[in-house]
């Protein structure tokens, strides 16, 4: 199962709007004979890829799957049926499928006299698939707030200039992280100040083949020459200041992971609404002493109003540091 989880992680950023799933098939004698992962929506599911590799050796064997095999016919057939037809005798899966449209695979497998066990390494499997699971369970996209800041918490100078606070390694890392998301959101002030393109690019500034949806939040007019209006990616203009409405409209588009890039007003609105699920902060070894904060007013009046987070990861990127923060109680902030 741990190998299946490793395989599942290979699909992060390319399976939208589907989950990431990994599968390992062992023979009747317990030897690994097939493995696979779901690589792209519309393509074969992990179980099918693993069964194709295993061939006849799958008969009488065991399937280890990170997510309950689906019982749904969409662009591909039900994985539960594929396992039954291949002669698999036993299925162990980590996480029950919360998507009611696809759930029921375990029940179908049991009805055909397969031995089925749920919950093997469930926590580890949930972590690798946290974005999709959260989106389905909560009925809204998983929200990551990203920002870059100086040591004194400034994201822009007094003249609103902000390029570049962090170094090349950190900026390249941002593009890798963007590529894992389905949409990137900024407020109209950020568009007017920075004119960002909001695309995923490589180190030679070449656009990636798959681009997240660009989302501009706010009711101010965006000039027709703004780079977010170019043809390198689709852009959605949302004339609202309500974070819940933003997420509702994105959920209607099956957006699973929203990468919230700013600026401070938009970030504060999502934090006040408790609609941020993860923070990714890039901190540069530099100070400004004046300028604009990375976050707007949250209404704090005393030190008792501090919002504390769990530090999940620290990664050095050249002279910069990337901090990844999660909710202390594993709920939204």
pLDDT band at 209 (very low <50, low <70, confident <90, very high): confident
Q: How much is the pTM?
A: 0.90
Query: Which pLDDT score, from 0 to 100, does residue 73 have?
Result: 75
Q: What residues are labeled active site?
A: 47
Rounded Cα gap, residues 84 and 30, in angstroms: 18
d(CA 44, CA 26): 19
pLDDT at 62 over 90: yes
Q: Quickly state the pLDDT bin for 33 (edges 50, 70, 90).
A: very high
Confidence of residue 330 (pLDDT cuts 50, 70, 90): low
Residue 311 has pLDDT above 80, yes or no: yes
Asked whether the predicted pLDDT for residue 331 surpasses 60, the reply is no
Q: Which band of pLDDT confidence, cut at 50, 70 and 90, is reported for residue 193?
A: confident
The pLDDT of residue 315 is 98
User: In DSSP terms, which residues pair with 32 in a beta bridge?
Assistant: 26
Q: What does the mean pLDDT of the chain come to? A: 93
Q: Is 42 left (phi over 0), alpha (psi -120 to 50) or beta?
A: left
- Please choose, from the candidates 155, 159, 206, the residue with its C-alpha nearest in 3D space to the C-alpha of residue 179: 206
Inter-residue contact 182 to 170 (CB < 8 Å): no
pLDDT tens, residue by residue, 238-267: 999 999 999 999 999 999 999 999 789 999
Residue 332 predicted with pLDDT over 60: no
Phi, psi of 5 (to 5 degrees): -65, -40
Statement: residue 202 has pLDDT above 90:
no
Q: What is the reported pLDDT for 306?
A: 86
Confidence of residue 300 (pLDDT cuts 50, 70, 90): confident
Give the model's pLDDT for residue 34: 97
- In this predicted structure, which of 17-31, 64-78, 259-273 has the lowest mean pLDDT? 64-78
**Model confidence over 80-125: pLDDT tens digits?**
999 999 999 999 999 999 988 777 899 999 999 999 999 999 999 9
């Amino acid at each position: 199962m741990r190998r299946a989880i490793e395989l599942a992680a290979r699909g992060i950023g390319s399976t939208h709007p589907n989950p990431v799933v990994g599968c390992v098939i062992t023979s009747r004698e317990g030897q690994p004979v097939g493995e696979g992962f779901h690589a792209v929506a519309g393509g074969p599911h992990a179980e099918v890829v693993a069964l194709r590799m295993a061939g006849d050796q799958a008969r009488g064997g065991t399937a280890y799957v990170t997510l309950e095999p689906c019982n749904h016919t969409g662009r591909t057939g039900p994985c539960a049926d594929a396992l039954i037809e291949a002669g698999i005798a036993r299925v162990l899966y980590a996480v029950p499928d919360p998507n009611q449209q696809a759930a029921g695979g375990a029940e179908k497998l049991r009805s055909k006299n397969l031995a089925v066990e749920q919950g093997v390494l469930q926590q580890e499997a949930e972590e690798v698939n946290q974005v999709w699971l959260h989106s389905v369970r909560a009925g809204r996209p998983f929200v990551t707030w990203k920002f870059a800041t100086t040591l004194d918490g400034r994201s822009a100078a007094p003249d609103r200039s902000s390029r570049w606070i962090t170094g090349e390694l950190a900026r390249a890392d941002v593009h890798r992280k963007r590529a894992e998301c389905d949409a990137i959101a900024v407020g109209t002030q950020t568009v007017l100040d920075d004119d960002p393109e909001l695309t995923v690019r490589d180190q030679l500034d070449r656009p990636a083949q798959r681009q997240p949806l660009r989302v501009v939040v706010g009711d101010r007019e965006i000039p027709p020459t703004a780079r977010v209006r170019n043809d390198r990616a689709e852009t959605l203009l949302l004339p609202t200041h309500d974070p819940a409405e933003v997420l509702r409209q994105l959920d209607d588009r099956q957006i699973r992971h929203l990468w919230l890039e700013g600026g401070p007003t938009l970030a504060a609105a999502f934090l006040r609404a408790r609609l941020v699920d993860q923070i990714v902060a890039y901190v540069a070894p530099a100070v400004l002493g004046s300028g604009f904060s990375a976050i707007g007013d949250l209404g704090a009046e005393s030190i008792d109003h501090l919002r504390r987070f769990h530090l999940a990861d620290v990664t050095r990127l050249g002279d910069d540091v990337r901090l990844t923060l999660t909710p202390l109680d594993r709920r939204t902030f």
